[in-house]
């Protein structure tokens, strides 16, 4: 079975209406279907690994959004399931993120290490 | 209470694809809540926001069924905004661009919106206190 | 003199147009216009204290541009500490600004 | 003549919104023309590409009527690709992501596509000679 | 009647399926409806003013695209109708465009002149 | 050693990610992989001779990356003169490259 690397770059695209990030959701589904899959969070998607993301409180007329996206929890669940979640250190630093801001269990990678990571996977899907 | 003021908002993004759609609906919500009239010109992909056939779905990742997941649909959000307008004595005029509807097959929509074209947007803008264009990328 | 409400939904990490746009906003303010920039969606990302683009915000503040950030977008991204000079606001406030007489609203 | 090789392509963009959709269909066209099998996994907005209710429209800017304008619809392009596959003895397997279809109300489509989910994409990819993911921004 | 400035930045988005650029098309419709409207082509949209754009030749199965977009001609028609089409000089230069590449009848503007142009219009719509 | 087919649909004028991505492609090639970058859609914009980003293309060519540009996308944008080192191609060719054994395709 092919080793898959899902590279997630685009962040917060339609997440409110979807109640999640569609690529993380897809990754989770593929893992559940037996895929050998890892995730690389890069560019703005490093923010998906920030603790305490809170998208609650939306209301349109009398329609309250009772189940907002909880992307930090989605990432945590994937880590618990054994999905390796890599995060690009420079991308996090540029965005003002410190270790205290980030979830536990992430795998840090430097930009210069990405070509090797890509080489180690048979399928590389950049979303 | 109705303020007598009107805001026109043009939107272009398809549902579930962009943060813009939710922001636009938040702005409409805030305006109606304050009693302002709102005209929405839904251009291109945004005409899909109001499609009647939209249905909530369960979430197999979380193991929730349809009821537990309470997945929102944009058509329901728009319907709620029409109800809010009525409650506030304000007018929500939602114009779906007709040619955009045709090419997308998006003609069967919830109660409230009407079919129109660019001239409706221009007329609304000229008659409004403020116009905001929210484009797509 | 007019009032400008610039709504910035893009961020310089992703959009090559974002830094130029900040310059444009400064150019508008320099002509004596009362200018507000309102960060929303990913547009709030540079507002986190310590981000690489805090200096762009500092320049805007120095250039007499009023800088606001949407509270919901900040919470959504877990941004708790803001760069100096930013006021948090919501869409209720945005609607009030939109309706101030003589205001031109530009979304980016 | 059928090559026996298979390409899997994942797409996400809604019709009429992005250059990606047309490029994806160009790639499918080239592959089928060479006799390769193609699996398309239409995710999110891309499930709207095949909607039966799409209709061509006239162009009031040019003053053309529907016939003169010959406005393409993506459903017709997809239908033509199914016919091309048949002519070449190749297989086009077009999978519309079911949950994406539900939330968009995009369930009434032209002949050819089938409903599926992420597992279909994974299985197709594992059985393919090449996989290409065309994401959206 | 309000003077409107339509700023077009995004380029070639869905133009093949639409047979035109949707914002230029909208501008044309608004002009026909009596609007006092001008266009500023900036960023990648300066390329809309390039002569000889040719999107012909697409075919899917037996469906030939007989009416591809002709964006240069659309811009020309708007100029003929009296729509002022501004183009940002630096943006054209950065993209390797010379005067020979561009349509006639455009109004050149420098980046530093854009704030004034914006001030001269009551409605400024950035697409 | 693998083969990489990188399909670049973005351009550095619009995308702040585009220049970094060119570096990533160089990094992949430096590991000894046979690497092709295929410009398509707005991704062809830097390929026009005289564009500000011709140097990025020159660096790729120097770094042993094969550089191709989609002929349709070039014509669509009226790009007639290309920067040095670029081969024009079409989606037929792209499909052939995709199917070369051991090829990983990455769209950007």
DSSP string for B7-56: EEEEE-PPTTS-HHHHHHHHHHHHHHHTT-EEEEEE-GGGGGGGBTT---
Whether D26 has a pLDDT exceeding 80, the answer reads yes
Q: What is the mean pLDDT of residues A63-73?
A: 96
Q: In chain E, which residue's Cα lies nearest the Cα of B133?
A: E125
- From chain F, the residues in CB contact with C12 under 8 A are 16
Give residue E49's Cα distance to chain centre: 6
SS3 F86: strand
Neighbours of F1 (CB within 10 A): 8
- From chain D, the residues in CB contact with F105 under 8 A are 130-132
Quote the pLDDT of residue C19: 84
Q: What is the mean pLDDT of residues D68-89?
A: 96
Confidence of residue C1 (pLDDT cuts 50, 70, 90): confident
Q: In chain D, which residue's Cα lies nearest the Cα of E18?
A: D16
What residues does F40 pair with on adjacent strands? none
Q: pTM score, two decimals?
A: 0.98
- From chain E, the residues in CB contact with F45 under 8 A are 44, 47, 95
DSSP secondary structure of B50-90 = GBTT-----BTTTTB-HHHHT---HHHHHHHHHHHHHHHT-
Q: In chain B, which residue's Cα lies nearest the Cα of E24?
A: B118
Q: Which of E14, E47, E92 to mutate: most F Cβ within 10 Å?
A: E47
- From chain C, the residues in CB contact with B27 under 8 A are 91, 94-95
DSSP secondary structure of E19-61 = TS-HHHHHHHHHHHTT-EEEEEE-GGGGGGGBTT------EET
Distance, in angstroms, between C38 CA and closest chain B CA? Answer: 13
List chain B residues with pLDDT less than 70.
none
- The DSSP output letter for F83 is P
- The DSSP output letter for F89 is E
Q: Please name which of E35, E40, E28, E33 lies closest in space to residue E108, comparing C-alpha atoms.
A: E40
Distance, in angstroms, between B83 CA and closest chain A CA? Answer: 7
Q: Where are the beta strands (DSSP E) in chain C?
A: 3-8, 34-39, 66-70, 86-89, 103-107
- From chain B, the residues in CB contact with A47 under 8 A are none
Residues of chain C above pLDDT 90, percent: 97
Buried b (16+ CB within 10 A) or exposed e, C66-104: bbbbbbbbbbbbbbeebbeebebbebebbbebbbeeebb
A57 part of contact set with chain B, CB < 8 Å: no
Q: Please name which of B86, B33, B25, B85 lies closest in space to residue B50, comparing C-alpha atoms.
A: B25
The answer for A 26-85 residues in CB contact with F (under 8 A) is 43
- From chain F, the residues in CB contact with E51 under 8 A are 78
Which own/partner pairs from A15-18 qualify as long-range (CB within 8 Å, at least 24 positions apart)? A15/A55, A15/A69, A15/A71, A15/B19, A16/A55, A16/A58, A16/A65, A16/A68, A16/A69, A16/B19, A16/B22, A16/C76, A17/B15, A17/B16, A17/B21, A17/B22, A17/B72, A17/B74, A18/A69, A18/B16
The answer for C 1-40 residues in CB contact with F (under 8 A) is 12-18
What residues does C68 pair with on adjacent strands? C38, C87
Quote the pLDDT of residue A82: 97
Contact A60 B84 (CB under 8 A): yes
Residues of chain D above pLDDT 90, percent: 99
| Cα(C68)–Cα(A30) distance, integer angstroms | 40
Neighbours of chain E (3+ CB pairs under 8 A): B, C, D, F
Distance, in angstroms, between B75 CA and closest chain D CA? Answer: 9
- From chain B, the residues in CB contact with E22 under 8 A are 12, 43-44
| Cα(D118)–Cα(F89) distance, integer angstroms | 32
C77 part of contact set with chain E, CB < 8 Å: no
Q: In chain D, which residue's Cα lies nearest the Cα of E33?
A: D61
For residue B19, give the nearest of C7, C41, C98 by CB distance: C41
What residues does A86 pair with on adjacent strands? A40, A107
> Which helix (DSSP H) or strand (DSSP E) does residue A21 occupy?
none
Neighbours of B3 (CB within 10 A): 15
A1 part of contact set with chain D, CB < 8 Å: yes
- From chain A, the residues in CB contact with D99 under 8 A are none
Contact C107 B5 (CB under 8 A): no
A–E touching, 3+ CB–CB pairs within 8 Å: no
Confidence of residue F19 (pLDDT cuts 50, 70, 90): confident
Distance, in angstroms, between B107 CA and closest chain C CA? Answer: 28
For residue A124, give the nearest of F27, F31, F106 by CB distance: F106
Quote the pLDDT of residue C42: 98
- The DSSP output letter for C77 is T
For residue A44, give the nearest of C42, C76, C78 by CB distance: C42
| Cα(F36)–Cα(F3) distance, integer angstroms | 8
Higher-confidence residue of A1 and A66: namely A66
pLDDT in tens, C23-56: 999 999 999 999 999 999 999 999 999 999 999 9
Q: D54: alpha, beta or left, given left = phi > 0 and alpha = psi -120 to 50?
A: beta
Distance, in angstroms, between B134 CA and closest chain E CA? Answer: 7
> Which helix (DSSP H) or strand (DSSP E) does residue D30 occupy?
helix D19-33
Dig out the tokens for E25 from the structure: 């098309």
Distance, in angstroms, between F46 CA and closest chain C CA? Answer: 14
Neighbours of A49 (CB within 10 A): 26
Dig out the tokens for B10 from the structure: 């043009």
Number of alpha carbons in the 13 Å side-chain half-sphere of residue F4: 32
Contact D122 A123 (CB under 8 A): no
- From chain B, the residues in CB contact with A12 under 8 A are 19
Contact D125 A26 (CB under 8 A): no
| Cα(D34)–Cα(D37) distance, integer angstroms | 9
Instruction: Say yes or no: ipTM exceeds 0.90.
Output: yes
Whether F55 has a pLDDT exceeding 90, the answer reads yes
The answer for D 28-47 residues in CB contact with E (under 8 A) is 29, 32
**N-to-C CA span, chain A:** 21
Confidence of residue D1 (pLDDT cuts 50, 70, 90): confident
Q: Please name which of D118, A20, A67 lies closest in space to residue B71, comparing C-alpha atoms.
A: A67
Contact E114 C107 (CB under 8 A): no
Contact E30 B43 (CB under 8 A): no
Quote the pLDDT of residue A58: 97
Report the number of secondary-structure helices (H) and strands (E) in chain A.
5, 7
| Cα(A26)–Cα(C90) distance, integer angstroms | 32
The answer to whether B34 and C92 are in contact (CB under 8 A) is: yes
Q: Which of D17, D22, D111 to mutate: most E Cβ within 10 Å?
A: D22
Distance, in angstroms, between B118 CA and closest chain A CA? Answer: 26
pLDDT in tens, D88-113: 999 999 999 999 999 999 999 999 99
pLDDT in tens, B30-70: 999 999 999 999 999 999 999 999 999 999 999 999 999 99
């Amino acid at each position: 079975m092919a080793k898959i690397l899902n590279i997630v770059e685009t962040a917060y695209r339609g997440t409110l209406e979807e109640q999640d990030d569609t690529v993380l959701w897809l990754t989770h589904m593929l893992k559940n279907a037996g895929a050998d899959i890892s995730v690389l969070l890069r560019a703005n998607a490093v923010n998906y690994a920030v603790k305490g993301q809170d998208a609650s409180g939306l209301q349109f007329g009398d329609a309250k959004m009772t189940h907002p996206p909880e992307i930090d929890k989605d990432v945590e669940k994937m880590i618990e399931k054994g999905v390796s979640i890599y995060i690009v250190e420079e991308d996090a630093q540029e965005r003002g993120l410190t270790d205290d801001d980030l979830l536990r269990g992430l795998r840090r990678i430097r930009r210069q290490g990405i070509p090797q990571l890509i080489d180690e996977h048979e399928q590389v899907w950049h979303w | 209470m109705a303020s007598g003021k009107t805001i026109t908002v043009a939107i272009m993004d398809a549902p579930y694809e962009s943060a813009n759609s939710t922001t636009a609906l938040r702005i409409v919500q805030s305006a109606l809540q304050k009693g302002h009239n709102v005209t929405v010109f839904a251009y291109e992909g945004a005409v899909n926001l109001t499609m009647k056939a939209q249905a909530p779905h369960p979430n197999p990742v979380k193991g929730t069924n349809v009821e537990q997941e309470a997945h929102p649909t944009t058509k329901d959000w728009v319907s709620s905004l029409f109800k809010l307008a009525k409650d506030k004595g304000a007018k929500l005029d939602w114009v779906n661009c007709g040619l955009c509807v045709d090419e997308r097959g998006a003609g069967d929509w919830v109660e409230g919106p009407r079919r129109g074209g660019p001239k409706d947007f221009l007329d609304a803008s000229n008659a409004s206190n403020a116009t905001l264009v929210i484009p797509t990328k | 003199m007019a009032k400008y409400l610039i709504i910035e939904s893009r961020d310089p990490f992703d959009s090559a147009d974002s830094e130029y746009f900040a310059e444009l906003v400064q150019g508008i303010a320099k002509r004596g216009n009362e200018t507000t920039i309102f960060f929303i969606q990913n547009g709030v990302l540079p507002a986190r204290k310590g981000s690489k683009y805090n200096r762009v915000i500092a320049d805007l503040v120095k250039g007499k541009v009023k800088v606001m950030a949407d509270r919901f977008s900040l919470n959504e991204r877990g941004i708790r500490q803001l760069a100096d000079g930013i006021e948090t606001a919501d869409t209720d406030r945005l609607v009030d600004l939109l309706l101030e007489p003589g205001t031109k609203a530009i979304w980016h």
